[in-house]
Amino acid sequence: MRQATLSIPQQALQQAVREYILGIYQWMVGGLLLTGTIAAVVSSSPALLSIVLGSPIIFFGLIIGELGLVVWLSARIDKMSVSAARAAFLGYAALNGLTLSAVFVAFTEESIAVAFFSAAGMYAVMAVYGYLTKRDLSSLGSFALMGVFGILIALLVNLFLQSDALDFAISLIGVGVFAVLTAYDMQRLKAQYVVGEEATAVGKKKAILGALALYLDFINLFLFLLRLLGGNRD
């Protein structure tokens, strides 16, 4: 972490870092709750479900909108106000809730619960590891980021191949990649902390980007675990 104020006591610095990370997690959890609530509401309403999933144009339009919002937020964060950055993050979480309503249609509630709690447990372990470890995870993080692009390419290829073996391999690799990214992002956020910055507009916007990174790590970890462990509805 960047110790901008060298005279600050170590104990006070550690407490400040914990509070900073906790603030990021509060936004991340808020985003997950919004996503889950919207997904559950949409999946329980035939009318809403027919709007979201009834037309490929609307469904893929929502996915493109999600991707565009993430790119826009990441690229324009420095020029946004804090309120605009927070609204963009919550907007992304809401859009993700609409598209993830498909999960409740495709998988049983039991398999979703198993995958969710498995993801939560794995995520917690990797996040704690990333926070506490003295090992530099930069190289592992870079390798995992390259793995994300490899997974995307493999998913596109498997749209044509429809291979169960490849699908299993992609899901297994996906779990590993996002578990590593969870630890890496946690270490990165801790290292980027600047004393007192959390009270400034810059620090609050950095916290939103941090929450977005952790949110994406969890969502993807959950989805890949669901592909591995989940039971499809008949």
Whether the per-residue pLDDT at 1 is higher than 70: the answer is no
In a domain, 78, yes or no: yes
Greater model confidence, 194 or 135: 135
In a domain, 30, yes or no: yes
Q: Which of 115, 92, 116, 78 is nearest to 213 (CA)?
A: 92
Tens digit of pLDDT for each residue in 98-135?
Answer: 999 999 999 999 999 999 999 999 999 999 999 999 99
In a domain, 80, yes or no: yes
CA 160 – CA 173 distance, rounded (Å): 20
Residues 35, 97: contact at Cβ < 8 Å? Answer: yes
Residues of the domain holding 220 = 10-229
In a domain, 28, yes or no: yes
Residues 1, 192: contact at Cβ < 8 Å? Answer: yes
In a domain, 173, yes or no: yes
Stated pTM of the model: 0.93
In a domain, 2, yes or no: no
Residues 39, 100: contact at Cβ < 8 Å? Answer: yes
In a domain, 234, yes or no: no
CA 196 – CA 99 distance, rounded (Å): 38
CA 95 – CA 49 distance, rounded (Å): 14
In a domain, 142, yes or no: yes
Predicted confidence at residue 233, as pLDDT, reads 63
Predicted confidence at residue 5, as pLDDT, reads 43
Domain count for the chain, please give it.
Answer: 1
Q: How many Cβ atoms from other residues are within 10 Å of residue 196's Cβ? A: 12
Tokens 């980021």, located at residue: 145
Three-state DSSP at 107 gives strand
Q: What is the mean pLDDT of residues 162-181?
A: 95
Residues 73, 92: contact at Cβ < 8 Å? Answer: yes
Whether the per-residue pLDDT at 2 is higher than 80: the answer is no
Q: On the CB side of 164, how many CA atoms lie within 13 Å of its CA?
A: 0
Distances from the Cα of 46 to the Cα of 27, 39, 57, 88, angstroms: 30, 13, 18, 28
Predicted confidence at residue 4, as pLDDT, reads 46
Whether the per-residue pLDDT at 180 is higher than 70: the answer is yes
- Angle in degrees, CA 32, 228, 51, rounded to 5: 50
Q: Which of 142, 122, 219 is nearest to 187 (CA)?
A: 142
